Amino acid sequence: MKRGQFLLGSLSGITVVANLDHVFAQALAYSTVPGLPGGDDRVLVLVNMQGGNDGLNCVVPHGDDAYYRLRPSLAIARNDVLSIDNQVGLNPQMKSFKAMYDKGMVAIVQGVGYPDPDHSHFRSTEIWQTAAPEKYLSTGWLGRYLDDANLPSENLFNGVAISQVLPEVMIARKTDVPAIAQLNGYGLLSDRNKSASTTYTELVTDKSLPFSSPYLSHVAEIEDHAQRGSEELPKLVAGYKTDASYPATPLGRSLALAAQIVGSKLGTRVLYVQHGSFDTHVNQRGTQDRLLSEFSDAMKAFYDDLAAHGNDKRTLTMTFSEFGRRAAQNASGGTDHGEAAPLFLIGGNVKGGMYGTHPDLNRLNDGNPGFTTDFRNVYATVLERWLGRPSTPILDGSFPQIAALA
């Protein structure tokens, strides 16, 4: 075939539009498939508590004297803790979240980490996102899930990252995940004019260029997705209405968009949002308390919103952070990079309550609470019991599941 024939033959405006209708009809059709085991309408929302959320001042071991000894001025007073039992409770800023816990919507998994923990933000973030503590992988665990799950490849929204930059966890070999920071601003000005838009499509998808570049196909693919996706996404989610009152914070806005995407049934299976920064080396109390309060209020609004549309049971949220922090406070009223910490599973099919073992603060591992649950046990549980996929190929190993999901 001559150069250009393909271009003018199959990429005329009309064909493109027809294809689009097909794609989104497909997306809509898939989303209505009723719940099979790990059913096709289930969604996982991953919340990255970026920067290293201090576990001990989040899920507070108020029954442990060692905690108060290690943190003379940073510990949260017993009377202030939102007590879960006589051992642990939540940070006082997490009142709305505590109410969700009390309703059985939250599972807390204690002491989650991995062997030979790395104290670097970047490596440890990479380890949690690639699920590979011992080696360097170029795909994320949710990226591998997306590649593996036999989702309709024409659907542009199988996974959506609500962020400016695509997080490693969503990097896949075959699946392109759009990173959408906000709907407002997600659209091409040039699309205001249909014929300019057609020329645009033809130019940006031209494959026969007189040079090669390792990034060329990536850029061209994302340009194509950006144009098609941005044209359709706002229309697809426009019908969604909500009365939920989200806090006016970045996390509140991200979760509002997540609820809109979930509720618009685009076939989206995994969503990513982030919150932070929790890197509290200095004057931790003010920063972490504010972030946890924002988290708590945004999560409440999110599940109120989901519930009002009947989506709470098909939406599981999981938090993670690259590490917890050292058990002892430092000289600056903060804490340095640590290791294991608790994580939360919210909504979906969770069986509310406490799971795992709280690390023993009297037996610190070089100043750190040791891990008692490998994060891959939690991932395996989510993959098998929620997303309905075998976890061994995705995690490159077999990991025992925990009981926090039905």
Interface positions with another protein (CB under 8 A) = 3-4, 7-8, 51, 118-123, 136, 138, 161, 164-166, 178-181, 185-190, 192-193, 195-196, 198-200, 202-204, 206, 208-216, 218-220, 222-223, 225-226, 229-230, 277, 281-283, 286, 330-333, 336-337
Cα 330 from Cα 65, distance rounded (Å): 18
User: Whole-number minimum distance, CB 12 to another protein, in Å?
Assistant: 11
Q: Which is nearer to another protein, 293 or 368 (CB)?
A: 368
User: Whole-number minimum distance, CB 304 to another protein, in Å?
Assistant: 27
Contact in structure between 326 and 336 (CB atoms under 8 Å): yes
User: Whole-number minimum distance, CB 13 to another protein, in Å?
Assistant: 10
Q: Which are the contacts of 224, defined by CB distance < 8 A and separation ≥ 6?
A: 201, 204, 205
Tell me if the bond preceding 217 is cis, omega within 30° of 0: no
Contact in structure between 405 and 349 (CB atoms under 8 Å): yes
Tally of helices (H runs) and strands (E runs) in the chain: 12, 11
Residue (of 328, 332, 395) closest to 364 by Cα position: 328
User: Whole-number minimum distance, CB 320 to another protein, in Å?
Assistant: 17
User: Whole-number minimum distance, CB 401 to another protein, in Å?
Assistant: 30
Residue (of 123, 152, 112) closest to 381 by Cα position: 112
Cα 8 from Cα 20, distance rounded (Å): 18
Q: Which is nearer to another protein, 64 or 176 (CB)?
A: 176
SS3 274: strand
User: Whole-number minimum distance, CB 103 to another protein, in Å?
Assistant: 35
User: Whole-number minimum distance, CB 122 to another protein, in Å?
Assistant: 5
Q: State both tokens at 346.
A: 């919210």
Q: Which is nearer to another protein, 10 or 32 (CB)?
A: 10
- Residues linked to residue 365 through DSSP beta bridges, in sequence order: 368
Q: Which is nearer to another protein, 66 or 222 (CB)?
A: 222
Residue (of 54, 51, 53) closest to 327 by Cα position: 54
SS3 46: strand
Q: Which is nearer to another protein, 110 or 254 (CB)?
A: 254
As a whole number of angstroms, the longest Cα–Cα distance in the chain is: 78
Cα 97 from Cα 141, distance rounded (Å): 27
Cα 406 from Cα 402, distance rounded (Å): 10
User: Whole-number minimum distance, CB 162 to another protein, in Å?
Assistant: 10
* Cα angle: 200, vertex 204, 207; to 5 degrees: 140
Q: Which is nearer to another protein, 40 or 202 (CB)?
A: 202
- Residues linked to residue 373 through DSSP beta bridges, in sequence order: 112
Q: Which is nearer to another protein, 185 or 239 (CB)?
A: 185
Residue (of 343, 253, 344) closest to 305 by Cα position: 253
Cα 385 from Cα 39, distance rounded (Å): 10
Q: Which is nearer to another protein, 12 or 401 (CB)?
A: 12
User: How many Cβ atoms sit within 10 Å of the Cβ of residue 406?
Assistant: 9
Q: Which is nearer to another protein, 205 or 242 (CB)?
A: 205
User: Whole-number minimum distance, CB 138 to another protein, in Å?
Assistant: 4
Q: Which is nearer to another protein, 78 or 173 (CB)?
A: 173
User: Whole-number minimum distance, CB 143 to another protein, in Å?
Assistant: 12
